Amino acid sequence: MAFTMTMLAWSAVDFGDHLSSRNELSNALGAIRWGTDYLINAHPDPDVLYGEVGDGYSDHDCWQRPEDMTTPRTAYRIDDQHPGSDLAAETAAALAAASIAFRQTDRQYANQLLGHAKQLFEFACNHQGLYQNSIGVAGGFYSSSGYEDELVWAAAWLHRATNDGKYLDFLSTRGTDGTRSEFSWDDKFVGAQVLIAKLVLEGRLQKSSGTWGQYKNQAEQFICSCLQKGNSNLGRTPGGLLWIHQWNNFQYVAAASFIASVYSDYLQTSSASIQCPGGSVGPSDLISFAQSQVDYMLGSNPKNMSYMVGYGSKYPTEVHHRGASIISIKKDPTPVTCRGGYGSWFNQNGPNPNVLDGAIVGGPDQSDGYYDSRNNFQQAEPATVNVAPFTGVLARLA
């Protein structure tokens, strides 16, 4: 959830003018505030952050509407005795990015966001540890592979929000961790590398200083690999979709497309290009890549179907989503029981009774195949981390 908010905020920060020209900026800010209000409420004390409500295991045993849920709503937290640097730092990044997005329209709220972001970053640094070691129920579903990436990601956003040199000092002492093969909720290094590369392109940091040059080079090598011009190119399906993981591949496609979109503008502003192993790459090449991925997602693919629900004439109708797959409580208030929902709704063939407009499902397999079934959760489950990066990409292309 925090990564979703960071990416929505980055969309508004870098593509705010594009959103505004389409009268969508207020909608974007409204969506961000919905999430950041929650994160603020989850942070009642400097060294306390609530990270999960409910239990993934008991929740997955049930197929119910949110209004009918009977599973325990236990709240789990991290604190100074039970750390979670990844969770705290990612939340700090989200609030710092959002503070920039709100700076022009609501300075008081922006300052409130920034205050929480600073506290959470200090919490993440002073009490280090993986969050699933403190919130065990999270480990089976969203286990973090490390927290160093969140620390540098948060520091990069706090520097952009404050221009305080202490965050650059922090970044100068951390490892850039090499060229990455994905940008995702679990691996933020590419995002941090791109934010530092922006400062180098603007002349605010010297590339000759080894660390800053490494950040920039590794950001650009990731982009090269997305465009098939690197030394270790990322996979593609026969239809041209970037292929990174079999489970919810679209979240990685969306994030990579976002990186290409923002970096295109950074290069354009600096009259620069990327020297990839496979040749020079300019701003238009990056936008063409992002456009190709969006076109695929919206219907230019071997299935001739849109993977955004409700868009186009053909799109997934059996989305793996409890609320969408069960009749609205407004039409039938009869409670749906925990296990009863499987027999009455989950296992029924046919379209969901509610269209989940705007949701982006996990997407096709490595051969461009897609099976539209609620049971096919690897492909048919939507996620907010799919939509958030594409918000910025679509704004840039509009």
The count of residues in the chain is 398
pLDDT per position as a tens digit, 78-91: 999 999 999 999 99
pLDDT per position as a tens digit, 292-334: 999 999 999 999 999 999 999 999 999 999 999 999 999 999 9
E strand or H helix at 64: none
Contact between 235 and 229 (Cβ < 8 Å):
no
Predicted confidence (pLDDT) at residue 157 exceeds the cutoff of 80: yes
pLDDT band at 176 (very low <50, low <70, confident <90, very high): confident
Tokens read off for 135 = 């919130």
Contact between 80 and 63 (Cβ < 8 Å):
no
The two beta strands, 242-243 and 274-276, are: unpaired
Tokens read off for 219 = 């950001």
Q: How many helices (H) and strands (E) does the chain have?
A: 15, 6
18 is catalytic: no
Check 18, 127, 159, 320 and give the catalytic one.
320
pLDDT band at 206 (very low <50, low <70, confident <90, very high): confident
Contact between 40 and 116 (Cβ < 8 Å):
yes
DSSP states of 143-205: --S-SHHHHHHHHHHHHHHH--HHHHHHHHTS------S--BTTB-HHHHHHHHHHHHHTTSS
Tokens read off for 12 = 């508004």
Q: Is 174 left (phi over 0), alpha (psi -120 to 50) or beta?
A: beta
Contact between 192 and 149 (Cβ < 8 Å):
yes
Predicted confidence (pLDDT) at residue 184 exceeds the cutoff of 80: yes
**What is the reported pTM?**
0.97
Q: What is d(CA 248, CA 336) in angstroms, rounded to the nearest whole number?
A: 28
Give the chain's domains with CATH numbers: 1-174 (1.50.10.10)
Phi then psi for residue 201, to 5 deg, are: -60, -35
pLDDT at residue 220 in the model: 97
